[in-house]
């Protein structure tokens, strides 16, 4: 817009010069009184000549001034557009500044939440490691983790302060009863944690004579190991004799234990869905075991596959 306006100013200046000279000549002629022009010699002839010149000049003047007025209107329109553009830019800058302030405040809130969540997850992970060191065997570790999870759930269910109803009569109206899900419902969409052949079934006697509390699968090298069901990771790390393990706490007192992983991609406190990556099987392949427990008692996971 600025370049167009400068170009138009140069064109107007070039056209303004002859019109200025013509306007000056006309002004000098109009300033001479008509009576003096009649007394001067040859004034009548000059007057007739001047009138003829004016009759032929005025249409040209009007034509040129019409184009000049059009260009002046165009210049005014360009100036109006420039002012509108400046106003829009200022409004946009003010809006961007306001949005930037809001984003900065939101980012600060998210950082605070992330720090709080990370602090809670770190504390829970530390407690899980302490329980792992104190547990005599894997069964005791799972039992203690389940006990800690039950305590956490009971604390979360504690009622908070009840607000006094604005209408006391409304407090006597009971809510319409709704069907509640079963308190012992197993995990939904339960699946095997890794693809592979079942090498040991539930309840089979192992080499030590102890019966299997779950099933074992021959996993291919570096195979993806996934969560068998939706829940929350309550332990993720190495455990003596079992490689890296992951324990997922499901709803209604169900727990899944996956052992024999070479690497883990989850952390304590992380929520997972059925099929979410837990880690990888050993690079050379090996057994990945799955145990499913209901209130601490091992059950056959094959009975709950969906």
CATH number of the domain where residue 210 is located: 2.70.70.10
Of 97, 122, 150, which marks where a domain is finished? Answer: 97
In a domain, residue 160? The reply is no
Closest CA to 186 of 99, 255, 274: 255
The residue from 63, 97, 131 where one domain ends is 97
User: Whole-angstrom Cα distance, residue 132 to residue 136?
Assistant: 8
CA 58 – CA 161 distance, rounded (Å): 93
Answer with the residue of higher pLDDT: 4 or 222: 222
**Closest C-alpha to 274, from 209, 222, 218, 228:** 228
User: Which pLDDT tens digit goes with each residue over 158-193?
Assistant: 454 444 455 555 444 445 555 555 677 889 889 999
* The token pair that represents 225 in the structure block: 């190991």
pTM attached to this predicted model: 0.52
Q: What is the largest CA-CA distance in the chain?
A: 147
Q: How far is CA 272 from CA 204, 265, 276, in A?
A: 30, 11, 6
The pLDDT-based confidence of 230 (bands split at 50, 70, 90) is very high
Provide Rg for the chain, Cα atoms. 45
Q: Which two tokens stand for residue 183?
A: 């308190």
Q: What is the pLDDT of residue 163?
A: 44
Residues 93-145 have pLDDT tens digits of 888 888 777 777 766 666 666 555 555 556 677 777 677 676 677 777 777 77
Measuring CA to CA, which residue among 152, 193, 182 is closest to residue 290? 193
Q: Quick check: is 218 in a domain?
A: yes
Residue 103 lies in a domain: no
Backbone angles phi, psi at 275, to 5 degrees: 95, -5
- Identify whether 185 is part of a domain: no
**Position 284 in a domain:** yes
User: What is the mean pLDDT of the segment spanning 191-198?
Assistant: 92
Find out whether 187 and 274 touch, Cβ atoms under 8 Å: yes
List the beta bridge partners of residue 294: 254, 297
Give the position of tokens 């050993």.
282
Q: Is 77 inside any structural domain?
A: yes
Q: How many domains does the chain contain in total?
A: 2
Pick the more confident residue, 259 or 10: 259
Q: Write down which residue in 76, 97, 118 finishes a domain.
A: 97
Domain that holds residue 264: 196-304
Ordered alpha helix ranges (H), 135-250: 138-156
């Amino acid at each position: 817009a600025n370049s167009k306006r400068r170009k138009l100013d140069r064109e107007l200046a070039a056209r303004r010069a002859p019109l200025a000279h013509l306007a000056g000549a006309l002004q000098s002629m109009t300033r001479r009184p008509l009576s003096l022009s009649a007394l001067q010699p040859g004034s009548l002839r000059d007057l007739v000549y001047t009138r003829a010149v004016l009759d032929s000049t005025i249409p040209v003047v009007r034509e040129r001034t019409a184009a000049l007025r059009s260009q002046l209107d165009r210049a005014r329109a360009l100036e109006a557009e420039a002012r509108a553009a400046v106003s829009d830019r200022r409004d946009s800058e003010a809006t961007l500044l306001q949005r930037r302030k809001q984003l900065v405040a939101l980012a600060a809130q998210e950082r605070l939440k992330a720090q709080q969540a990370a602090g809670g997850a770190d504390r829970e992970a530390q407690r899980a490691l302490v329980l792992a060191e104190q547990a005599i065997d894997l069964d005791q570790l799972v039992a203690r983790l389940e006990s800690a999870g039950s305590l956490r759930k009971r604390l979360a269910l504690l009622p908070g302060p009840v607000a006094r109803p604005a209408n006391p009569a409304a407090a006597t109206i009971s809510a319409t009863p709704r069907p509640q899900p079963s308190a012992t419902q197993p995990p939904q969409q339960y699946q095997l944690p890794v693809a592979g052949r079942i090498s040991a079934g539930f309840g089979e006697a192992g080499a030590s004579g102890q019966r299997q509390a779950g099933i074992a699968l021959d996993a291919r090298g570096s195979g993806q190991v996934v969560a068998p069901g939706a829940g929350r990771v309550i332990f993720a790390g190495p455990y003596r004799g079992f490689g890296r393990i992951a324990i997922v706490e499901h709803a209604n007192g169900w727990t899944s234990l996956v052992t024999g992983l070479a690497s883990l991609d989850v952390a304590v406190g992380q929520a997972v869905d059925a099929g979410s990556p837990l880690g990888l099987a050993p690079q050379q392949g090996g057994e990945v075991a799955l145990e499913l427990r209901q209130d601490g008692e091992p059950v056959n996971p094959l009975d709950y596959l969906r």
